[in-house]
Copies of this chain bind each other. A is one copy, B any other.
Amino acid sequence: MDDWANDLQKLWDFAWQKLHRGAADAKSPLHRPAFATAGREGGAEARIVVLRSASPSRHTLEVHTDAASAKVAELVADPRATLLFWDPRSNLQLRARVRVEMVTGDAEAWEQLGEGARMNYGGTPATGTGIGAPDAYDKTPARDRHTRLIGHLQSLDAVYLGPEHRRALYSRDDGFAGTWLAP
């Protein structure tokens, strides 16, 4: 049983350490979380995203996307999303419920992207449009399509699945002090 999983403060710190590392290290299992949004017609949508930054002081988790993607339309309709992380090494699942702020065409963020990464933003027709052949699309980087999704943490649900199970919920309402839940 890992020591950090038995203390609310240690578990919180451990989670943010992992999230921070997940943003910085492409090899971290936390680098590619699932990003779930409410479907436009109900139900739920989910896709893999790349975690770009994690700030323990601002309680933000940031990913980037194309303004023409379905998730942007979904977030305009309902800005509440969940970022889901699973770290098999530490047996830790993190469910980060966030409220998403969107920033499109940020010059500074665009400057920091390599040429390859820029290819993910822009293109014709827009992602998700029906096309007649598998390669009937064109990728042209477009800064005005690049969109930062800044997730402001509302609550973090941490589940530890080690020899014993532990579950804690940290909510914005109580300053993320945390409380234990039955796992």
Contact = CB atoms under 8 A, between A and B. Distances in A.
Contact of A42 (B38, B137, B164, B180): B38
Interface residues of A, number: 50
Given A181-B129, A182-B129, A78 B42 contact: yes
B97 A43 contact: yes
B95 A46 contact: yes
Interface in A154-183: 164-168, 179-183
A161 B6 CA distance: 40
B183 A127 contact: yes
A65 interface: no
Interface in A126-171: 126-137, 139, 164-168
Which 9 pairs show the lowest CB-CB distances between chains A and B? Answer: A43-B80, A34-B34, A36-B44, A36-B46, A36-B36, A46-B84, A137-B182, A44-B44, A46-B82
Contacts of A16: none
A45 interface: yes
A125 interface: yes
